[in-house]
Amino acid sequence: MSKFRFLTSGESHGKCLTAIIEGVPAGFEIKPELINEDLKRRQSGYGRGGRMRIECDTVEITSGVRFGKTLGSPITLVIQNKDYENWQKIMSVNPEDYTDEKSFTQCRPGHADYAGSVKYNQKDLRNILERSSARKTAIEVAVGSVAKQILMQFDIKCSSKILQIGTVSAPTLPSHAGRVSEGQEGFEAEIDRVKELGDTIGGKFEVIFENLPVGLGSFVHWDRMLDGRIAQGIMSIPAVKVVEIGENPLGYLGSEYHDEMFMENGKIVRHTNNAGGIEGGMTNGEPLIVRAVMKPIPTMRKPLKTVDLAEMTECEAHFERSDTCAVEACSVVAEARIACVLADEFLQKFGGDSLNEILSKFNV
């Protein structure tokens, strides 16, 4: 049921991250610089630690694009791990390079470590950490950026913003619980405070896509409901625990919640968008609004109590990284995830094997 399909790969300290995207029609302009912009946005944001500065991810396209345009063949994206030179031996493919440097067994609560070690029968939790790391979202952002560039041809655009950091809300959102912040400064102050404590903090963000055609997704079968597909995309981002489409309905009666329809100048209009742009599992022509809550990053300077899986004794959790807050990065990943779903639905709905063909159909 998928036209824009893709696989991604890569360990956090491996040689590179890779993605192959299959199903993009011919003739779409793909600009690496737009992908790099999204990669940069993913790495920035107040509250990030040191590694972000090492990385400065850039993408290389190694197939599927010629002279700036897609060929219709699978597109390959590669992001080198800049840190790899320091990890070459530790992450080596070759058995003769075996080392237990950087091995660890003190599993980190909130991460994949415990369940991963049981599932994949691994003693060295490095073998779990490397793939379960949020590092892999870099290549997912790159894939999403290709999806965005497809959507852009049809004037579909997206944006995102932070609504809340911990209990500090954006000023424009009085309906949200918690202290009202003075905007970005309020968020930064809260992040500074938490950083000071050696702790971490999560938050809530919003992604909006505008100018979507009516009728992406469908009610006819449960796995074609657009809201469901989007929720999968968002909830599968590491650390996301809550997904909302449109306005949370708690506290509204039916007569208050639903977006009534009116005629204005011969056109159907609405004055509200509580549905967040989706009715019956389909886009309804209003902006698509998706919100999500990210949990605090589980790796902390102030370590959690846990168990050493080799010794089966209590200990402190392994410490690998040092971001205080990554909500902004998370919102960039969320944009990417939604873009992939929308591009897939769009390409399915309009068919066509080249941009020209799709445009001719789209404009009928």
**Site residues (CB under 8 A) for its own copies, limited to 324-363:** 337, 347-354, 356-357, 360-361
186 conformational bin, left if phi > 0, alpha if psi -120 to 50, beta if neither: alpha
Q: What CA dihedral angle connects 253, 259, 260 and 261, to 10 degrees? A: -170
Taking CB under 8 A as the criterion, the residue among 37, 54, 88, 118 binding its own copies is 118
Question: What's the burial of 36, exposed, middle or buried (CB within 10 Å: 0-12/13-18/19+)?
Answer: middle
Residues 229-258 that bind its own copies (CB under 8 A): 229-238, 240-255, 257-258
Task: Return the CA Rg of the chain.
Answer: 22
Beta carbon nearer to its own copies, 189 or 307: 307
CB of 29 to its own copies, least distance (A): 8
Which H helix or E strand runs over 206?
strand 203-210
Residues 121/115, Cβ–Cβ less than 8 Å? no
Tokens of 279: 């009715």
Beta carbon nearer to its own copies, 52 or 231: 231
Taking CB under 8 A as the criterion, the residue among 5, 82, 102, 161 binding its own copies is 5
Q: Is 68 in the site for its own copies (CB under 8 A)?
A: yes
Residues 258-317 that bind its own copies (CB under 8 A): 258-263, 266, 268, 270, 275-276, 279-285, 293-298, 300, 302, 304-307, 312-314
Residues 35-54 that bind its own copies (CB under 8 A): none
Taking CB under 8 A as the criterion, the residue among 120, 182, 183, 184 binding its own copies is 120
Taking CB under 8 A as the criterion, the residue among 101, 121, 196, 265 binding its own copies is 121
Distance from first CA to last CA of the chain, Å, rounded? 25
CB of 319 to its own copies, least distance (A): 12
Q: Which long-range contacts (CB under 8 A, 24 or more apart) does 50-54 make?
A: 50/322, 51/83, 51/321, 52/323, 54/82, 54/83
CB of 38 to its own copies, least distance (A): 16
Residues 88-117 that bind its own copies (CB under 8 A): 91-95, 97-98, 107, 109-116
Q: How many CB atoms lie within 10 A of CB 2?
A: 14
